[in-house]
Amino acid sequence: MVFHERKEPDFISVVVADSTRIHTQLLADAINRDHGLQVVATASNSRDLLAVAQRVPIDVALLAYHLDNQPCRGSEVLSELRALRPQVKTVMLLDTSQPEAVLDCFRAGAKGIFSKEGRIETLCKCIRTVHDGQIWARSVELDHVLETLAHSPRVRARNQKGVELLSARERQVIEYLAAGMTNREIAQVLHLSPHTVKNYLCRIFDKIGASSRTELLYLTMNAPPLDGSAAKSSPQLTEMVEAAKAGDPYAQLRLADYHSQPDNPEHDPVSAYMWYIVAAKLVAPMLHEIEQGRARLARSLSPQQKMEADHRAAQWVKGREEADRIHRAQPQREQKSAGVS
């Protein structure tokens, strides 16, 4: 993993991750010759790439489809990258234009597809285009996508009742998916191959009627309980659950704490652990931006101003902790009252 000093504030910041260090560095050097583009970091494996994503501001990620000496690994890493930094646009580098690879990249969330045989000038144009919010692909690659759509069912049912058709193992896969785990991580936990996990997801998509992971999680997390019973939750708890599902890390943390309490009638350590994982994945990029902002402002504040800011923060946190304590105690009091009546 190599970091590059960013020379101009208005450059498009790029991270490059190719299959080998030599290829990665050569590609980075070529991109840096283009005025307006700046490679801020390079990586030759997925671990370094994800570490970079948490520490360095990135506009566009240039990612090889063949990574970690594994075919198709790039699409899995892209899903992890999007979980960490959803605002980062990604261009996938392909050794081949096989329809399966092209579709896999777009399904994973790539905004651009670029052949490694292409010219560097064209690649730089691709990076700019993707950065501007457009899609980049050659006509042959677009033909693959359009051909697939043409042979797909015109109407696809999206039915929350499809959850009832899922097997126990398929439900496990969804739970781990909701926790933010990749196909490879799910495979390790369930002692399966990544290919088997991918097949499970395909069957789940068919049963639920979803076309993406996001849509799948929305439909399954908002589906009614399998036994048909309605949730007997207080308004405060329902509000907390909805906020957690909407992506609020603070609500996710409170929900994890709630489910982890042994004396709680809704004690669920698996769900608690899942929400801790989800909150951690969402908070990681926020922490990076917070530290950057603090460091930037610290240079312009006087010692007295810093002391005043610290005092205000302490007062705010104290008030928030008290409000949170009351908020957490409310559902328990209502449950005890309901039990007495």
* The last residue of a domain, from among 197, 221, 245: 221
164/104 same-domain check = no
Question: What is the percent of the chain where pLDDT is above 70?
Answer: 76
145/166 same-domain check = no
Residue at 229 is within a domain: no
pLDDT surpasses 80 at 19: yes
Q: Output 199 or 248, whichever has higher pLDDT.
A: 199
265/133 same-domain check = no
202/95 same-domain check = no
pLDDT tens-digit series, residues 35-74: 889 999 999 888 889 888 888 889 999 999 988 888 788 8
Q: Show the domain range for 279.
A: 235-340
Residue at 226 is within a domain: no
206/242 same-domain check = no
**Residues with Cβ within 8 Å of residue 42, at least 6 apart in sequence:** 1, 2, 4, 15, 16, 17, 24, 25, 28
| Closest residue by Cα to residue 223 from 162, 168, 155 | 162
18/69 same-domain check = yes
Q: Please list the alpha-helical segments (H only) found in the chain.
A: 21-32, 46-55, 73-84, 99-108, 120-131, 139-150, 168-178, 183-190, 194-208, 213-221, 235-245, 249-260, 269-298, 303-340
Residue at 155 is within a domain: no
Q: What's the CATH code of the domain at 188?
A: 1.10.10.10
128/242 same-domain check = no
pLDDT tens-digit series, residues 253-301: 877 887 787 776 677 777 777 777 877 777 777 677 777 888 888 888 8
183/246 same-domain check = no
87/170 same-domain check = no
Q: How many domains does the chain have?
A: 3
Residue at 289 is within a domain: yes
Helix (H, G, I), strand (E, B) or coil at 91: strand
25/139 same-domain check = yes
208/108 same-domain check = no
